Amino acid sequence: MRADRLVAALLVMQSRGRVTAAELAEELEVSVATARRDLEALSAAGVPVYPQPGRGGGWSLVGGARTDLSGLTSTEAQALFLLAGPAAAVAPEIRAALRKLVRALPRTFRADAEAAASAVVVDPARWGALDRGRPELVERLQGAVVRRRKVRLTYEGRGRERSERLVDPLGLVDKDEVWYLLAGTERGQRTFRVDRMLAAEVTELEASRPEDFELSEAWGQVVEEVEQRRSLVSATVAVASRYVSVLRDQFGRHCVVLGEDGGRSLVRLAAPTPLMIAQHLAGWGETVEVLESAPVRAELARLGAELVRRYASPA
């Protein structure tokens, strides 16, 4: 995992003072090109890492070798923790490493570094259709979370209605490159899709953050509520095992393999309504057989009849 390597690279440089890309590659068991990209990523993120060309050169930390992170400024520490923080939500070893790094920071920097590390959660599981691309507002919202500043949002809802609200940003979630902001509002905690934000103005008003707030736990509750709404109807289908991955692309976590027999897999699919399952399966023809769920079978029959009426050749 890249964030893990970035932390490891920094620790190697602190212990040795100066390393070449080849030496770092050998230490981390990666290619020289990968090690060079990691060093460049640290430098681009604001960590004081710089190359020294020529004989006896290499990559060094400003100020020379050191055994702790006390040479980092507050801004530099935030940059490092923003790089590694998202991976810590899904990788316990990175979370443990960040705890050690926090203890090595000067006390005055620790709060900002911890806020940066917990500003973003990465959730790789999909909710249906893909929506690729990192919205431009993500970096601005990250800064608001770390600095604990209220944000004035202009937001467009599902029905295209617009609203303005002043929120307390609590954290960001990257769910398969669809970004969400968890925030406190007058009506309690709410979740906003970043790609529906028409504007986000970071104010100088101090944001409120619950003492016991934990971003990964809060996001887990959001996911549970959404999944309950999205899995009101289920159907058991049979399909050739080689096509299961395609069904997973269509249904995300609502595609569960129940078993396999003779090259065919039994799969449970779920969605809010029978029609939504049928719409996904209609294009499969006889490739997928619905074994259980009379409502889904009825919707498939209805859709098939509509297609026949519209597209069947006249007698």
Rounded Cα–Cα distance for residues 226 and 252 (Å): 13
Adjacent-strand bridge partners of 239: 265
Of the candidates 171, 187, 254, 256, the residue with the CA atom closest to the CA atom of residue 220: 171
**Which is it for strands 233-240 and 178-185: parallel, antiparallel or unpaired?**
unpaired
- Spell out the per-residue pLDDT of the chain, length 315, in tens: 566 677 777 777 766 677 888 888 888 888 888 888 888 877 766 677 777 776 667 887 765 434 444 455 556 655 665 655 555 555 566 556 666 566 555 554 556 655 655 555 556 555 555 445 567 888 889 888 888 899 999 999 877 889 999 999 998 888 777 889 999 999 899 999 998 999 999 999 999 988 888 888 888 888 888 777 766 789 999 999 999 999 988 888 889 999 988 889 999 999 888 999 999 999 898 899 999 899 999 999 999 999 888 888 765
Q: What is the pLDDT of residue 157?
A: 83
Q: What is the pLDDT of residue 67?
A: 40
Q: Which CATH architecture has domain 2-117?
A: Orthogonal Bundle (1.10)
Rounded Cα–Cα distance for residues 281 and 296 (Å): 10
Contact residues for 187 (Cβ-Cβ < 8 A; gap 6+):
none
Q: How many degrees, rounded to 5, is the angle at CA 188 between CA 150 and CA 121?
A: 65
Adjacent-strand bridge partners of 206: 149
Using an 8 Å Cβ cutoff, are 155 and 201 in contact?
no
Contact residues for 114 (Cβ-Cβ < 8 A; gap 6+):
81, 102
Q: What is the pLDDT of residue 131?
A: 47
| Rg of the chain (C-alpha set) | 25
Q: What is the pLDDT of residue 64?
A: 46
Q: What is the pLDDT of residue 91?
A: 54
Q: Which CATH architecture has domain 231-305?
A: 2-Layer Sandwich (3.30)
Q: How big, in percent rounded to 5, are the helix, strand and coil portions of the chain?
A: 50, 30, 25
Q: What is the pLDDT of residue 20?
A: 87
Distance linking the first and last C-alpha atoms of the chain: 62
Residue labelled with tokens 């393999």 = 257
**pTM (2 decimals)?**
0.46
For the chain, the domains span 2-117, 123-227, 231-305
Domain 123-227 in CATH 3.65.10.10? The answer is no
